Chains A and B, each alone.
Chain A
Amino acid sequence: MSTLQRLQMPGNRPFPPRVSAFTRPFWEALGEGRLTSTRCQQCGIVSFPPRNLCRVCWSRDVAWLGLATHGTLYSFTRVHVAPGAFREDTPYAIGIVDLHQGPRLMCRMIGEVDTQHLDGPVEMLVLQYQDGPLFGAQVREPS
């Protein structure tokens, strides 16, 4: 699978995620430029975020897989009144992205994003902060 473009972000993550024994592979893969999640080996559903249980069929038999690096923008908003932790970033955009072949996820939107980009192509990114990675997306103009 292809690796994601890495964008250097200033400082630490505003509200850092926890890392468990189960989610560690996700964050390590992201640090290496790969967006991953889990697929149920019984019913085939790919979930996001990764789950230690298939929420569709309750199978515990889940396996890691790489996700698509591109998708389409389902919706977005720009947040102008923000939590204290995000004061430095305000205003910032977040969006709902449907990856090619699924799943759907929510993430930070980097760069220009407007209503004309809805249903348009986006590219996933690694947002590299000093203390670790987050995932994000940016609008990809049709070539």
Chain B
Amino acid sequence: MRRAAILGYGAVPVGSYQRAPAGTEVLEHELATEVVLQAAQMAGLSKEDIDGVVVAHPGDHTRQGYFHTFLTAHLGIRARATVIQVLGNGMTGGHAFDIALQQVTSGQADCVLSVGVHFETGIPTAQHLDYSIRLTGDVDFQSVFGAVPIAWYAMDAQRYLHEYRVPRATLASIAVKNRDHAIANPLAQFRTPITLDEVLNARPIVEPLGLLEVPGRADGAVALMIVSEDMARASGRPYVLVRGRGFEHEGLHQISDQPGDALSYASLQGASGRALTHAGVSLEDIGTFQVYAPCTIVEALGTEALGLFARGRGAAAAAAGDTRFDARYPVNTCGGCLSRGHPPEVTPLYDVVEAVMQLHGRASGRQVQRREFAMTISELGKYNAALVHILEGKA
């Protein structure tokens, strides 16, 4: 079986691009241009090398429709393998990466551009939420109550604190850890230090979570150059080999209608196990974990589902420093969704960028020690599905 590799990446700092003064807007393909050229230059590739283009669906708030063909035309790429736009909730960027890999491993392509732009900061929050309640719930039986996407995580948090008797501050400490990481990440949206008191005293957003435990509004753009292993090796440049892949959808949308444990994130258990088996490595081989976690609670539950910590112990482990970049199980060394920032459709692509930077030893100030293998995770719903990749650094 052919294997695929990441030979180049480009990304702009997560932030506000769409929220610009009238008459001086930043356009989605303009931002894409920047990141695509960064990725191509790093890989030493030109547009003639690119066989296919996989675009993360830019969400509902960009003006340009059919962005994949528009962007392919803008870049002047004559694609022989595919041009496709993919959508999968918070997993959208994960699919953009995954489909590009499959184009290469299947032999359809030797080089695929995986790229995404997410814009939302030009849209008022209330208007954005009018749209997003339709995504994370049954529109006729759940959205009717105003269940915003992070409300589901908030209910996980409330249950977690109750069921495992976890102090509020223990869970909140994950936000401080992530901010500490983001301070060293030039791509991060929020880089000023925060204290635990500030997290605990932030205004409530979805109780028990306050402003610093939920993601801010964010725009972003990322491009990856995905090539065959042979092409990566022949380049003479450092690359990252994709060693394993696992996926699982638990067949639920948000919550089960049968009473029981809602905190197990079983899809992540299944997908991560499959990815490790596929890669032929063990959990203990992984030196850094990029866990898709829009809220503090999601990171705690994600690390438990992975098996890094026992059920109910994820928050306490993070509070004890066990998930810092210099500890045994580094988690979200980029600062995660909370501080690196969360432009949902491209968040998983940013996570791949961080994993590659770590494996290449280019994560100054947050560099992990063990840089042989990294795990990246994206999810959708309330971890109703998880997509996991295992990456290996090659000098």
* A positions within 8 Å CB-CB of B: 13-18, 23, 45-49, 55, 74-87, 89, 91-92, 94-96, 98, 102-108, 115, 118-119, 134
Contact = CB atoms under 8 A, between A and B. Distances in A.
**Which bracket fits the contact residues of B?**
35 or more
Contact of A134 (B145, B159, B251): B145
Contacts, number: 128
A58 B112 CA distance: 40
Contact of B146 (A49, A94, A105): A94
Contacts of A46: 257
Of listed B139, B143, B255, B258, residue having the most chain A CB within 10 A: B258
Contacts of B254: 106
Of listed A80, A94, A98, residue having the most chain B CB within 10 A: A94
Closest 8 CB pairs of A and B: A77-B154, A83-B129, A84-B126, A17-B140, A49-B141, A75-B155, A98-B259, A86-B146
Given A16-B144, A79-B151, A82-B146, A104 B207 contact: no
9 contacts: A17-B144, A74-B159, A75-B159, A77-B207, A83-B146, A84-B124, A89-B146, A96-B155, A102-B258
A104 B259 contact: yes
Nearest to A19: B140
Contacts of B208: 77
B285 interface: no
Nearest to B138: A49
A95 B206 CA distance: 12
A108 B262 contact: no
Interface in B214-256: 251, 254-256
B129 A81 contact: yes
Contact of A81 (B143, B145, B205, B256): B205
A80 B203 contact: yes
A115 to B, nearest CB: 6
B258 A104 contact: yes
Contacts of B30: none
Contacts of A23: 140
B79 interface: no
Interface string B287-313: 000000000000000000000000000
Of listed B125, B140, B162, B209, residue having the most chain A CB within 10 A: B140
Given A83-B129, A96-B155, A108 B145 contact: yes
B158 interface: yes
Contacts of A119: 162
Given A74-B262, A92-B146, A84 B127 contact: yes
B259 A115 contact: no
Contacts of A81: 125, 129, 148, 205-206
B372 interface: no
Contacts of B77: none
A82 B265 CA distance: 26
